[in-house]
Chain A
């Protein structure tokens, strides 16, 4: 093995420095490509994270619930039609041995919160106004799933006794404020007094029609012996589906549903967004590569005289090719470096130009920065290999004979 050939690097560097305008143009081209890629992936990434946060930021990631109400056979064992006055559906709307489920769920790695809830329909009444609401009994731990503390508009989160929390939509319709007394009525018409302890905004209209009460209160209110569901929050949102599958395997008597299964449409929208951004980035990359290949291709023709002399003086074909590969790498690295700064600048500009209320955070991660930068360098080196091959093929006599 020869000593590291520094002279190819020196020649490549000098060619680039002396080719000022050409070099500047191509570096600008690469950096623009990198900047666009960086900005685009930060934008799309940020948008997706904000969308996912809106969807599952304040909602359970996995729900374990009783299996669907199953229609019973209309025909009994003897083949006769069963008593049609009886309900044809088995009403398995409760999980009874929920403590055991919760304990087992909590042993699964990645699970942050697992809490029992009791759900039921009802009405909230204040004065003459009656509003249909969804009532949910939660434990103190379960409040964490909804990140109520962060979403609170007014009041506190104390759910003991008669205290309830209500969504913004209900509070507006009832004109209720914290400390107000209202009535809650269940489907059977039974009525209890409640005190509004806090008002929250979960971001969506449906979620804001929620009334949160303590778990015990909900159980007695809806006459539950068990609970309606176990709601789970996991550390990595995207692992929810896989964690859910684990529970599906483990528990045969209950149904498990992850947020991904519930939001297939959103997920496919996100996926097509990612793939369209990927397509754009791919073509940006292709155009960078073509630009480098063409500029270096011209450079190889322009420098064929120099290459011929170098070869006459004993430079090997490999060295001649190496000069262009190094040129490509130098262009790629400097373009990537500039491009990262330009991309970050673009992001800052975007952040300051957009309205603060409509803003979502740009997702600027190491991967978003390094991926376009690394791709630019790789693309540059690959595109440089075309003129490099040309340089390798050139024979010194072509240059010397033709002048």
Chain B
């Protein structure tokens, strides 16, 4: 029986001081270790906020997050930063590479942050990943000199450099054309399978969602559906997603 790497209890997130907007309402989810989970939902449903909370980038207003058996509500900023650095990789829609650095340097960046300085074995590993992902030729290029797909691959390589347990991706294919998007997705799935990394993806693309093991749908800050794609089968899951009614547990 696989254990849960992420567990939330009664997670709430409220934005604003005067005008309070409740973005996440009583979220209880469990993410299995080494699984591939897709967070879907219409825009404004809170899926990105949930991902940011789970990625320890944003703090929930109330509720608890347990990641890898650690409860994070009382951990300080530096502790969170260090945990993110060591155990999490991030891929965002707008790739967010540092434009001042080459592809290779961008990939190395989390490693630099971890050890404080460049190390040769990390560089070796970075080159391996870049070769695996098919961007070795681009290693000396700056982000502005690369295509969107290449940039997103660099971002994926960067997310992998510290061999994290978790990878969070917010619309990783959202900014790419369909074909490139699927290539990137395929790559992420392969990495998930090869390295045993737990993968969480936010997407509004149903096709991409159906490639995941689990689907969590959010509507208006609440969990609307939780599907186990492997159990129900892809066709049933697809039907389930199309169904607009919510089954709130």
Interface residues of A (CB under 8 A from B): 2-7, 10-11, 14-15, 17-18, 305-306, 308-319, 396-397, 400-401, 403
CA distance A319 to B78 in the complex (A): 10
Q: Find chain A residues with CB under 8 A from B117 CB.
A: 3-7
With A312-B90, A403-B94 in contact, is A3–B116 under 8 Å at CB? yes
Q: Are A7 and B113 in contact (CB under 8 A)?
A: yes
The answer to whether B109 has its CB under 8 Å from any CB of chain A is yes
CA distance A319 to B77 in the complex (A): 13
> For window 8-62 of chain B, which residues contact chain A by CB distance below 8 Å?
48, 52, 55, 57-58
Q: Are A313 and B58 in contact (CB under 8 A)?
A: no
Q: Are A313 and B113 in contact (CB under 8 A)?
A: yes
With A6-B116, A7-B112, A14-B101 in contact, is A314–B85 under 8 Å at CB? yes
CA distance A316 to B80 in the complex (A): 9
Q: Find chain B residues with CB under 8 A from A312 CB.
A: 55, 57, 84, 90, 96
Q: Are A309 and B98 in contact (CB under 8 A)?
A: yes
User: Among B82, B97, B118, which residue has its beta carbon within 8 angstroms of that of A314?
Assistant: B82
Q: Find chain A residues with CB under 8 A from B90 CB.
A: 312-313
Q: Count of B residues near A, CB < 8 Å? A: 33
With A14-B101, A403-B94 in contact, is A5–B81 under 8 Å at CB? no
Q: Are A2 and B48 in contact (CB under 8 A)?
A: no
With A310-B113, A312-B84 in contact, is A400–B57 under 8 Å at CB? yes
Distance in angstroms from A384 CB to nearest chain B CB is 18
Q: Are B116 and A315 in contact (CB under 8 A)?
A: no
With A2-B116, A4-B116 in contact, is A313–B57 under 8 Å at CB? no
CA distance A310 to B83 in the complex (A): 14
Q: Are A397 and B116 in contact (CB under 8 A)?
A: no
Known: A18-B99, A317-B77. 19 other contacts (CB 8 A): A3-B115, A3-B116, A6-B116, A6-B118, A7-B112, A7-B113, A11-B100, A14-B101, A17-B100, A306-B98, A309-B98, A311-B81, A313-B84, A313-B109, A313-B110, A313-B113, A314-B81, A316-B77, A319-B113
CA distance A5 to B94 in the complex (A): 28
Q: Find chain A residues with CB under 8 A from B48 CB.
A: 401
CA distance A11 to B113 in the complex (A): 11
CA distance A4 to B112 in the complex (A): 11
The 3 closest A-B pairs by CB, nearest first: A314-B85, A7-B112, A6-B117
CA distance A7 to B83 in the complex (A): 18
Please indicate which of the listed interface residues A5, A18, A396 has the most CB atoms of chain B within 10 Å of its own CB: A396
A sample of 23 cross-chain residue pairs with beta-carbon separation below 8 angstroms, ordered by A number, consists of A6-B118, A7-B113, A7-B116, A7-B117, A7-B118, A306-B98, A311-B81, A312-B57, A312-B90, A313-B110, A314-B82, A314-B114, A315-B85, A316-B77, A316-B82, A317-B77, A319-B113, A397-B52, A400-B57, A400-B96, A400-B170, A401-B48, A401-B58
Q: Are A315 and B101 in contact (CB under 8 A)?
A: no
Distance in angstroms from A399 CB to nearest chain B CB is 8
With A7-B116, A306-B100 in contact, is A314–B94 under 8 Å at CB? no
Distance in angstroms from B60 CB to nearest chain A CB is 12
Q: Find chain A residues with CB under 8 A from B58 CB.
A: 397, 401
CA distance A319 to B115 in the complex (A): 13
Q: Find chain A residues with CB under 8 A from B170 CB.
A: 400
Distance in angstroms from B59 CB to nearest chain A CB is 8
Q: Are B52 and A400 in contact (CB under 8 A)?
A: yes
User: Among B78, B92, B97, B116, which residue has its beta carbon within 8 angstroms of that of A5?
Assistant: B116
Distance in angstroms from A1 CB to nearest chain B CB is 11
Q: Find chain B residues with CB under 8 A from A310 CB.
A: 98, 109, 113
With A10-B112, A397-B57, A400-B57 in contact, is A315–B96 under 8 Å at CB? no
